[in-house]
Structures are given as structure tokens and as C-alpha cells.
Amino acid sequence: MNTQTERSPGTRLGRDRLAALVAADIKAGSYVNLGIGQPTLVSNYLRPEQAVTLHTENGMLGMGPEAHGSEIDEDLINAGKVPVTELPGASYFHHADSFAMMRGGHLDVCVLGAFQVSATGDLANWHTGAPDAIPAVGGAMDLATGAKEVYVMMSLFAKDGTAKLVQECTYPLTGVGCVTRIYTNDAVFLITADGVRVRDMFGTTLADLRERIPVPLEAAR
């Protein structure tokens, strides 16, 4: 996908197109965990020839796309309680074994949502710190620490217009220096040793992003 240099109104990616982009970027043969929320949509866009094996922390390997209609089995759900299908060769195991896989470095990629991501790849996705907020860390800390790569899917801007890509996270951290890519409706960012690079843009320009995001941004090489 080519980086845009001109603003194209109305071309921000919707949730499904963004999920398809993430799915296309996952290397063939990978073992992958999809977090609750937007990331679960990625399962619907993985191609059979990618041979990607999906892991869900409630104890399943070989999860398929979301289930609909007659496919729904109320006993077959992902960690977000969304009905899913199973692929040939799927297996089931104890919750403790599932977390051992997560913590033991056996997952190639996890895709998580986020409240904030810092310029150095710190992740904050379990608590905003607000007095009335209900913290919900789940297995995010285990995934952020154990997976070889962490992709984030999130909206780039909060409801008040502030950027979620920040120089330093102000919310409680889930993981330190763990995020390698950020997928948003406006742009895809790569977290590198040399800083944050903008790989793709959708309906915006690099100048616009630099104006709204408090992080030095460079075009991808």
C-alpha cells in the first residue's frame, strides 16, 4: 500500500479494511493471538495459504473466523466471548497451559488494542487511571511480554482529539518497549530504534500528522 502525499477526504480506513491490512502483514506460518475488541476482526481476513495458527488465551489453538448463524456453538468462543469457528487440527487445553504458551515466547505475534502507545513502544491498554474506570488487564501483560512482536490496533485520536501515540505514556503501563507496529484508521506507524516511522497514510498527510501528534515522525524508508 502506497503512502499518500496528498489529503484524500473520506479515505480513512474502516475497521474491516484495517483488520484486512493487519491480516495481510502477518507472516505465513505464524502463531498469533488476537486481543479483545478490534483485533478479533483480523481472524476474518487471514487467507488459508498463510497457514497462520490462532491462539486464544481461554485455551484453544487453531481458531478460525467468527461464527455466524448455524455455525455458532455457544461453547466455542474466543477470549472476548465472540463465537468462533474451529479449523481442522484445532486443539483445546487448560487455561494454565495457554498462559504458559503466552509467557514462554511461543507466539510470533499478538495484536492488541491500546489507550496509549509511546514513541519507544511502551503500551498502556488496561487502565486509564480514572477513578471510576474498571481495570481489565486480562492476559495483556503476558502477551505483551511473551510475544515476539506486538501489533497495536487503535484509533489514532481519543474522543477529545488528543493523540494516543505519545512521547511518554501517562496511563499505567502494560508493557515496556514491546510494540513494534501501530495500525490506525489514519496511518500505520513502525516503532524502530531510530524513532517512529509512518509506513502508510489514509486520507491524511505527513504534515497533518506531525501537527497533531506530539512525537517526531519520519517517512518510512
Q: CA 187 to CA 21: how far, in whole Å? A: 11
Q: Given the DSSP bridges, would you call strands 187-192 and 195-201 parallel, antiparallel or unpaired?
A: antiparallel
Lowest-confidence region among 55-69, 105-119, 130-144: 130-144
pLDDT at 110 over 90: yes
Percentage above 70 pLDDT, the chain: 95
Report the range of poorest mean pLDDT among 1-5, 94-98, 160-164, 202-206. 1-5
Grid cell listed for 178: 514491546
How many whole angstroms separate alpha carbon 174 and alpha carbon 112? 11
What's the pTM value of the predicted model, to 2 decimals?
0.92
Cell 500528522, residue located: 209
The pLDDT assigned to 132 comes to 79
**Residues assigned a catalytic role:** 57
- Alpha carbon dihedral 20, 22, 25, 26, in 10-degree steps, equals -110
Beta carbons within 8 Å of 148's beta carbon, 6+ residues apart:
105, 107, 108, 109
